[in-house]
Chain A
Amino acid sequence: MPGSGIGRNTLDRVLQIDQATYDAIVEHARRDHPVEACGMVVGPIGTDRPERFIEMVNAAGSPTFYEYDSTDLLQLYRDMDDRDEEPVVIYHSHTATEAYPSVTDINLAGEPGAHYVLVSTQAHGNNDGPVEFRSYRIIDGTVTEEEVTIVDAVAPSEESS
């Protein structure tokens, strides 16, 4: 079962994600299998709401590594800046191992505020079937798993009117 509780110790953070975005991440991972798929779901700064799904190209094109193209990376961050957004979910797939951050994932995690989502396609590859979908925060080399709650739609932003 996903979310078996490994490392769920001090932080009771939860990733709340809507069904359509969850499905889009899983679909991307299946489609790109056996290459690792990667992308982000960004949202308004400070809201922790994954609202805008962005598939990224894995410039490494590898079954064991992913990296955004440097030009794509700059464009992504410029767009977020213009829209007052930040990375809420940073996802990628593992295609032959479990959905748990590798040493590489931990060492390269550069967004302490983000939910790092890992999807494993090792069981069914390009085909339908359950996938492991797990979320973590990674801060200063420490991995903490968090619960994933799938909702129909993420509740609208609470802005004072």
Chain B
Amino acid sequence: MAIEVRIPTILRTYTGGEKAVDADGSTLTALIDSLEANHPGIKDRLVEDKGNGIELRRFVNVYINDEDVRFIGSLEATLADGDQVVILPAVAGGAR
């Protein structure tokens, strides 16, 4: 099973400069673990501890086939062979 994951510029230090890498997993959590196995350190940039588990970092956007995963189960979102995953850091900020 191969799922293409598009990596944003700021995370390409973990992928040897690659803009896209293959990973696998039937959920987003599994996919992130698969990314971590090949690109150590990347997981911590995507998720953070929350209670007894983890959750997607607030200012990281992940899309599965163009859908923001926050609307389709977040880390529990399901994946199938051939799906396309895009990771983008939020563009955000402000005076507060």
Q: Find the B residue at minimum CB distance from A122.
A: B95
Does A97 reach chain B (CB closer than 8 Å)? yes
The 8 A CB mask of A46-71 against B (1 = contact, 0 = none) is: 00000000001000101111111011
Do A68 and B95 form a contact, CB below 8 Å, given A73-B61, A74-B66?
A: no
Give CA–CA (A36, B92) in the complex, Å. Answer: 11
Residue tally, chain A, CB below 8 Å to B: 34
From A40, A86, A101, A112, give the contact of B93 (CB < 8 A): A101
Q: Which residues in A have their C-beta under 8 angstroms from that of B70?
A: 70
Does B86 reach chain A (CB closer than 8 Å)? yes
Do A74 and B88 form a contact, CB below 8 Å, given A108-B59, A110-B8, A111-B10?
A: yes
Min CB distance A153 to B, Å, is 27
Does A113 reach chain B (CB closer than 8 Å)? yes
Q: Do B61 and A65 have beta carbons less than 8 Å apart?
A: no
Give CA–CA (A38, B92) in the complex, Å. Answer: 9
Q: Do A108 and B90 have beta carbons less than 8 Å apart?
A: yes
Give CA–CA (A102, B88) in the complex, Å. Answer: 22
Give CA–CA (A60, B93) in the complex, Å. Answer: 10
Most buried by A among B10, B59, B95: B95
Q: Do A112 and B91 have beta carbons less than 8 Å apart?
A: no
From A73, A101, A104, give the contact of B88 (CB < 8 A): A73
Give CA–CA (A97, B94) in the complex, Å. Answer: 10
Q: Do B95 and A77 have beta carbons less than 8 Å apart?
A: no
Min CB distance B91 to A, Å, is 5
Give CA–CA (A57, B61) in the complex, Å. Answer: 17
12 residue pairs bridging A and B, Cβ less than 8 Å apart: A40-B91, A65-B92, A65-B93, A67-B90, A68-B92, A94-B95, A105-B94, A108-B91, A108-B92, A110-B89, A110-B91, A113-B9
B residues near A, CB below 8 A?
A: 8-10, 59, 61, 63, 66, 68, 70, 86, 88-96
